[in-house]
Structure 1
Amino acid sequence: MGGERVRRGRGSSVRRAAYAATGVVLLAGCASMPDNGGLRGVESTPRQDAQVRVFAMPPREDATPTQIVQGFLEALTSDDPEYRTARQYLTREASKTWQPELSTTVLANGPGAHADRPDREDTGAMSYTLTGTRVATVDAEQAYAPDSGPYSKIVHLAKDEKNGQWRIDAVPQGVVMGRSDFQRNYMSVNKYYFASNNAETKGTDLPMAVADPVYVRRKVDPTTRMVRSLIDGPTTWLDPVVRSSFPTGTALRKGAGPLTPDDRGRLTVPLNDSAAEVGTGRCEEMAAQLLFTLRGVSPAVEEVELRADGGQLCLLTQDGAETVATRGALNQPDYLYFVDEERRLVRIAAGTSDTAAEPVPGALGEGEKALRSVAVARDERTAAGVALDGKALFVSSLVTGSSLGDPVLSSAGKSEQDRLTTPSWDSQGGLWVADRNPAKPGLYLLEKGAGEPLEVRTPGLDGRVRAVRVAADGVRIALVVEQGDRLSLQVGRIERSGPADGADERPAVTVLELREATPELEQVTAMSWAGDSRLVVVGREQGGVEQMKYVDIDGSTPDVPLPAALTGVKAVTASEDETAPLVAYSVDGIVRLPSGAQWQKVTAGTAPVYPG
């Protein structure tokens, strides 16, 4: 039996004992192993009801090496909080050094295991090679990243001389599992920090919250784990552009947890003495971070009470959090904008079933300049439009009688496709646009939508920017990048640095650490932000057909329904406010997708956009 190959993946069924009354499922991976004949694959555990918890079976007496390896792999997919059952498959020494929280490796079909020397079972030592195809990793910070390539790790077993039982005495750090088990075990949650490298949101003095998506185990006290993760600080990728209101050294009070809201929806969070001296304003920012974060993992939390040194620091409700800080998803658009058949900027009230559009006030709505694409500032007081030939970018107030003036940026590209992209506004009133001119490609920022365009530095950018969308927080940017015949979606971090004292240079703006959000798509043809950390993307895989899907900025696929199919999509727009319907420009003109419905035609037109 030791020479057989073990595989966790899709195959035959796994035997389970289910206790419906207590909501427990026992994984009996090793118990399902036959003692003779060929080994059958053991399929990954199916998705269970949210109230059902899955636990693994401990090793049985006189389990073979193959059964020990199989049982250990099965135990990694259980809801055991500290992997206590998995540790029973290890020697005492291996259990002390194994750190499952260091990483999670996600494979396409679960790990296979092959005995390297089947004939060594009689020697009291054996090794198995775990194999598979990597699709993602989750690191010690709980940050997700797409991955690819073969997976190969060694597991070594030894036979105890006293009791004759096989156990694993050398095991790779972290855990490994198949994609279906990962989707059952883990969920993506946004934790929130505040933008630190820019001013407050235009028109308000509230700090702007920035989403930092991480993955936590669904049924292993996710509330407490997210509170700890939030207090520990942002992920390395986001850290340079955000701040946390939790003082350095803050942690949950020793022995605190699990944290659960009371019957009034109040969650009490006891902190150590590092937070004891914070003032009310800072404490309320801390509570707002918690409330924004917990909304995605524990909807029952209606208010947060922070305590330290035996007393209350502050108390904040969900509604109160929105008076302390803001975030993109809280900004509900007043209008949907697009270009009509007369090439004017027009609008329809957002959140309505209206189909009749009206020209916007001012020059852009009067048809003074034929438009190809547009962008409206987030306060909906100013708009930018690219001329029909793509050569010039104009900015105008949305006020009756406003003039158009001279272009704020021009392109010398020889063809329309090699000129200016659709522009995009950040929350501070900055206007972003890319020039696709092959002779001089560049990404530009016009602070406050005016003045001399500032060329944005893009170290590490391999290719030419074909589309630009800035997040509401102003510290993250999504780019469609052309690399040869491929169009990929990449997300970068925006860093700003001011000139030295007395220097005449302008502040430097840099997009850093671009990372691919849709590695499986070969051609991304349209995209838009669709939430605090989510984008909607139109594209196709190699040899595939066009599809529309949601992706998170870390490259993972959110657990939400796909948009209804739509053919011939040329542009798409969504709002960070997830209640606003998705809108697209297709062969049918301007169409929208109300929640729970099919695509509906609105009217003729092109280039739809929500503010931003």
Structure 2
Amino acid sequence: MPGPRRRWGGGLVLATVGALVAGCASMPDHGDVQPVDSSTRNDPRVRVFGVAPRDGARPIEVVDGFLEALTSEDRDYAVARKYLTEKASEDWHPGSGTTVLTDSALANPSRGTPPNEADDAERATSYTYVLTGKKVATVDDRLSYHPSDATYQETVRLVRTGKDKKEWRIDRPPTGVVLGKNDFQRLYWPVNKYYFAARGEAGRQPLVADPVYIRSWEDSVTQTVKAVLDGPSGWLGGVARSSFPDGVALRRGTTALVPDDDNRLTVPLDVNRGDVSAAECRKMATQLLYSLRDLASTSVKMVELRARKGSLCTLDEDEADAVVRQGGGKSGQPGQYYLDKDHRLVNFDDADDDGVPGGVPGPLGTGDQELRSAAVSRDEKYAAGVSLNGDRLFVSALAGTGELRFTGVRSKAADEKDRLSTPSWDGFGDLWVADTDPGNPRLMWVRKGSADPVEVKVAGLGEGDRIEAVRASSDGVRIALLVREGKQTTLRIGRVERVGEGEATKISIGGLRAAAPQLEEVTAMSWAGGSRLVVAGREEGGVRQLQYVLSDGSVPPKSTLPGLNGVTDIAAADDPSLPLIAHSSDGIVRLPAGMNWETVSKQGTGPFYPG
């Protein structure tokens, strides 16, 4: 539940609808894994409103009142502006960014400021305070989240105002908004906005999720539409693109977007009809529809884009899905796979009357080539497997007898545990694997699972760091890596940067960033949708835990997962309605939505979904 705030004292008012209900996550009374509820959002029926400064408020009251008002739910920070001079209110832009601290900012008198305000209030004409704290993150003007562990320090100045010069107001406020982590989690909500991969292949239009944080109490539909129009975040850079032409914005004067009774949203744009083709308009509408799906407050089923001289296009959800053709995936639900006690690749769906799955079609399901780990392509046409001793990577078709083909990827590590990782297929049908050999650590890429293997350079890895696990995203432009740094293993997300086409493609990994900075030891991970991952890890001095994290390094609401002992592998599907699957001390287990872990098989290892 939310922790206590540092200040109250007249700065905020709580308004509730019905009874206030607060609860804490339950903890298991045994085992080595504990669930952690990283979300500290207040009960959604509680709203917090700021209180204007009282007459004759002392400077420290004004500073504290302003900081408190930043945590209220006033549109355009109307109450917070009452603590500012008229000129400062005009110049202050809360949308320029948000600084998130571990707790509320502390206001300390700066050097030269009389320490006793009561005695010196009559003589002083200005006061300055230094706001300090420990940063958790910053949110930029495009609403993108950036983890940080830096020290926060910023100076605030107050001056006397009014006809009698008796009222203190802030004439130099902090940059943007400053608030504690608990308030940020109460006031802001993560939403995925979507763009198309900058490079694709014929017939395929993969969408890339770009997580942002919007203010939860304001018009979420309009905020999300504006965020999409702002374009991809800086981190996605050249790997994602928007279909909206440069400079396109909501039509001037549009204040709110509201779907009609048929869940149809009309979006008026400042754009000339001749500047947008029918095909591009459908892509624009697709980006908006997918982005609006994340909003619990609305159910937009159709989008119409309009220019000043008429409609540009109208698109419903089925038509948007047809535009995307995410590619690499098959119709229907994906299979669930694992390696049985005979080290064969098996499919849960192919179980016999006794519930025992048989081997998949092809040589990886016969047991002739025993496997340590495996992965199935997203279209479920091919499988890759690492030999039982971890030294070689094979590929085979999942149809007919097939042919077991050696990819050319081989590890020469002396110790079997330091050889090839579990392989992973991306959304373009390319295959990835890490060689964890301490003497020659490498990230390897096999185009279409059939070309000659290529060693991929990863910008941002330190000397001596090595990749221990790899999971490619379904959009093909991001990759999750477990990186061993000394005695720690951390989760990193990188951009997959491609140059050239087809067999001439050159590939590298850039923009490496921490995706679970609160965890010092991550032992297993999997993509769990557009921008979400599920991880098993441990905080410094803490116990192992299972939780969701976002690819930008933030922790979403409702990140808690039931505890599970001895987790070595965990996997999720892009569809959140499908259960998590894992390997633990209880064997192969599954977590259906709203339930607890259930054992599927006492034997077997490495359960996974395609990808």
Instruction: Indicate whether the TM-score tops 0.5.
Output: yes
TM-score (norm 2): 0.89
Quick check: 1:346 aligned with 2:346? yes
Quick check: 1:190 aligned with 2:178? no
Letter in 2 for 1:66: I
Q: CA deviation at 1:235?
A: 0.5
**More displaced, 281-290 or 309-318?**
309-318
> Aligned ranges for residues 220-235 of structure 1 at < 5 Å?
220-235=218-233
Q: CA deviation at 1:274?
A: 4.3
Which of 541, 547, 551 matches 1:543? 541
In 2, the alpha carbon distance for the partners of 1:353 and 1:267 equals 50
Q: Deviations over 1:211-233 (max 9, x none)?
A: 00011101121211111110110
Whether the 8 Å CA contact 1:351–1:581 is kept in 2: the answer is no
In 2, the alpha carbon distance for the partners of 1:578 and 1:146 equals 25
Q: CA deviation at 1:327?
A: 4.8
Whether the 8 Å CA contact 2:407–2:452 is kept in 1: the answer is no
Q: CA deviation at 1:369?
A: 0.6
Match of 1:515 in 2: 513
Quick check: 1:101 aligned with 2:95? yes
Q: CA deviation at 1:319?
A: 2.4
Q: Deviations over 1:148-200 (max 9, x none)?
A: 13222111111126331110111221110011110111011000000012325
Match of 1:9 in 2: 5
Match of 1:285 in 2: 283
Instruction: Report the secondary structure of 1:324's partner residue.
Output: helix
Alignment: residue pair count: 576
Whether the 8 Å CA contact 1:246–1:275 is kept in 2: the answer is no
> Aligned ranges for residues 464-503 of structure 1 at < 5 Å?
464-498=466-500
Which of 73, 77, 85 matches 1:79? 73
Match of 2:159 in 1: 158
Whether the 8 Å CA contact 1:392–1:410 is kept in 2: the answer is yes
Letter in 2 for 1:190: N
Q: Which has the higher contact order (CA 8 A, sep 6+)?
A: 2
Quick check: 1:145 aligned with 2:154? no
Whether the 8 Å CA contact 1:190–1:214 is kept in 2: the answer is yes
In 2, the alpha carbon distance for the partners of 1:330 and 1:62 equals 68
In 1, the alpha carbon distance for the partners of 2:50 and 2:402 equals 69
Match of 1:305 in 2: 304
In 2, the alpha carbon distance for the partners of 1:138 and 1:331 equals 37
When residues 458 and 20 of structure 1 are mapped into structure 2, their CA distance, relative to the original with a 3 A threshold, is closer
Q: CA deviation at 1:277?
A: 3.5
When residues 407 and 191 of structure 1 are mapped into structure 2, their CA distance, relative to the original with a 3 A threshold, is closer
Q: CA deviation at 1:256?
A: 1.1
When residues 351 and 286 of structure 1 are mapped into structure 2, their CA distance, relative to the original with a 3 A threshold, is farther
Letter in 1 for 2:145: Y
Letter in 2 for 1:406: F
Instruction: Report the secondary structure of 2:54's partner residue.
Output: coil
In 1, the alpha carbon distance for the partners of 2:567 and 2:148 equals 29
Match of 1:296 in 2: 294
Whether the 8 Å CA contact 2:10–2:51 is kept in 1: the answer is no
Match of 2:33 in 1: none
Instruction: Report the secondary structure of 1:198's partner residue.
Output: coil
When residues 327 and 92 of structure 1 are mapped into structure 2, their CA distance, relative to the original with a 3 A threshold, is farther
In 1, the alpha carbon distance for the partners of 2:16 and 2:330 equals 40
Which of 236, 239, 249 matches 1:238? 236
Instruction: Report the secondary structure of 2:68's partner residue.
Output: helix
Task: Give unmatched runs, 5+ long, in structure 2.
Answer: 20-39
Whether the 8 Å CA contact 1:158–1:168 is kept in 2: the answer is yes
In 2, the alpha carbon distance for the partners of 1:97 and 1:128 equals 19
TM-score (norm 1): 0.89
Q: Deviations over 1:218-274 (max 9, x none)?
A: 112121111111011010111211111111121110001200111111111000124
Match of 1:325 in 2: 324
When residues 530 and 13 of structure 1 are mapped into structure 2, their CA distance, relative to the original with a 3 A threshold, is farther
Task: Give unmatched runs, 5+ long, in structure 1.
Answer: 1-6, 24-45
Whether the 8 Å CA contact 2:41–2:557 is kept in 1: the answer is no
When residues 11 and 58 of structure 1 are mapped into structure 2, their CA distance, relative to the original with a 3 A threshold, is closer
When residues 611 and 19 of structure 1 are mapped into structure 2, their CA distance, relative to the original with a 3 A threshold, is closer
Instruction: Report the secondary structure of 2:396's partner residue.
Output: strand
In 1, the alpha carbon distance for the partners of 2:262 and 2:81 equals 39
Quick check: 1:373 aligned with 2:373? yes
Q: Deviations over 1:101-123 (max 9, x none)?
A: 11111111111212332245331
Instruction: Report the secondary structure of 1:273's partner residue.
Output: coil
When residues 461 and 133 of structure 1 are mapped into structure 2, their CA distance, relative to the original with a 3 A threshold, is same
When residues 60 and 274 of structure 1 are mapped into structure 2, their CA distance, relative to the original with a 3 A threshold, is farther
Letter in 1 for 2:133: G
**More displaced, 269-278 or 340-349?**
269-278
Match of 1:386 in 2: 386
In 1, the alpha carbon distance for the partners of 2:370 and 2:9 equals 63
Which of 209, 212, 218 matches 1:211? 209
Letter in 2 for 1:371: L
Instruction: Report the secondary structure of 1:281's partner residue.
Output: helix
> Aligned ranges for residues 247-266 of structure 1 at < 5 Å?
247-266=245-264
In 2, the alpha carbon distance for the partners of 1:331 and 1:58 equals 57
> Aligned ranges for residues 398-477 of structure 1 at < 5 Å?
398-462=398-462, 463-477=465-479
Q: CA deviation at 1:275?
A: 5.4
Letter in 1 for 2:307: A
Match of 1:610 in 2: 609
Letter in 1 for 2:317: Q
Match of 1:28 in 2: none
Q: CA deviation at 1:427?
A: 1.5
Which of 36, 58, 62 matches 1:68? 62
When residues 327 and 165 of structure 1 are mapped into structure 2, their CA distance, relative to the original with a 3 A threshold, is farther
Quick check: 1:174 aligned with 2:179? no
In 2, the alpha carbon distance for the partners of 1:350 and 1:529 equals 25
Whether the 8 Å CA contact 2:53–2:65 is kept in 1: the answer is yes
Q: CA deviation at 1:54?
A: 3.2
Whether the 8 Å CA contact 2:134–2:149 is kept in 1: the answer is yes
Letter in 2 for 1:234: P
Identity %: 47
Whether the 8 Å CA contact 2:11–2:50 is kept in 1: the answer is no
Letter in 1 for 2:103: N
When residues 553 and 90 of structure 1 are mapped into structure 2, their CA distance, relative to the original with a 3 A threshold, is same
Letter in 1 for 2:98: T
